[in-house]
Amino acid sequence: MIKVSIIVPTYNREKYVKRCLDKLINQTLTDIEIIVIDDGSIDNTKNIVKNYKDKRIKYIYKTNTGIGSTRNRGIKEATGEFVSFVDIDDYIDETMLEKCYKKAKKENLDIVICDYIEIEEETKKSKKIKLKTFNNTTLKDNPSIINKTNLGPCNKIIKSTLFKNNLFPTNIKYEDMALVINLYKNAKKIGKIDEYLSYFTIHKNSETTTRDNKIFDIFISLDKIRDILKEEYYKKELETLIISTLSNYNIQQRYIKDKISRDTFINKSFNYLKKYCPNYKHNKYYKERKLKGIIEKNKTLTKLYSNIYNR
């Protein structure tokens, strides 16, 4: 069996293809397959990929249906013992897969997570994201990892058997949060490498910086997460996750020009907090945020902040 299948979704990102694939074909772990799932690109992506003669690269073209279903197609095609996700505009250190795979095998882990670096494409500024260190664990034994790690599928290797009945939700944005939490919940053991081995590119057209009405999908994702973490011993960390997520997205409303849309989201967000986290104002998240927390836990101040930013 192949050791790691790397799933690379792409859609009209020809300028990033070579950088991403060069890092993958030069991995120090050579027993891998690279599955490029092209979600209906109309640029030169196909020709760039086809120029690679590496037999480990598998190129699949499909009708455009969004990143969730594109990643699911990659999972269906994967034959590796472990699966890793790398978006085409991102890349990984050439040692990442070997280091994560060796740790997984040596310590009998289902998921291995690493630290990562964000790089702003326009300014070239980089930011190291150091996730909280934790000993090998399970989600039940250490629920805090949902707030100590990022809830995206990248910067990880994941045992392929965990995807048997667990795929990405489709047709919604923020489809990965609930899936990653479900993977955590079903993993027999989760570990972390304290090294920066994954690189995320932040640019104006990336999923993480595009802000539109799809932002309301975050409530759908949070509903799914609440259903997954319904046991009582998850309650404290679940509330912190909901609070931190909605506070972050409330502040992001400063980028939305339409005041009605801004206020509609913020109103819905605070209603959600009141319903599912009635004591949200006293949560540790706001205490740790200090002055920012004072703004974020107050609906009036949050709206005022967004309005001033838009002037």
Confidence of residue 309 (pLDDT cuts 50, 70, 90): confident
Question: What is the pTM for the complete model shown?
Answer: 0.94
Residues 30, 204: Cα–Cα separation, whole Å: 34
Which residue reads 């980089």 in tokens? 126
Task: Give the tens place of pLDDT for each residue, 86-104.
Answer: 999 999 999 999 999 999 9
Confidence of residue 75 (pLDDT cuts 50, 70, 90): very high
pLDDT, position 311: 64
Task: Give the tens place of pLDDT for each residue, 174-216.
Answer: 879 999 999 999 999 999 999 999 999 998 755 444 556 789 9
Tokens standing for 41? 């690109």
Angle at alpha carbon of residue 135, lines to 91 and 84, rounded to 5°: 25
Task: Give the tens place of pLDDT for each residue, 256-280.
Answer: 889 999 999 999 999 999 999 999 9
C-beta separation of 91 from 27 below 8 A = no
Q: Name all domains of the chain by residue range, CATH numbers in brackets.
A: 4-202 (3.90.550.10), 213-309 (no CATH)
Amino acid at 208: T
Maximal CA-CA distance, the chain: 58
Beta bridge pairs of residue 32: 4
Residue 170 burial class via C-beta count within 10 angstroms: exposed 0-12, middle 13-18, buried 19 and up: middle
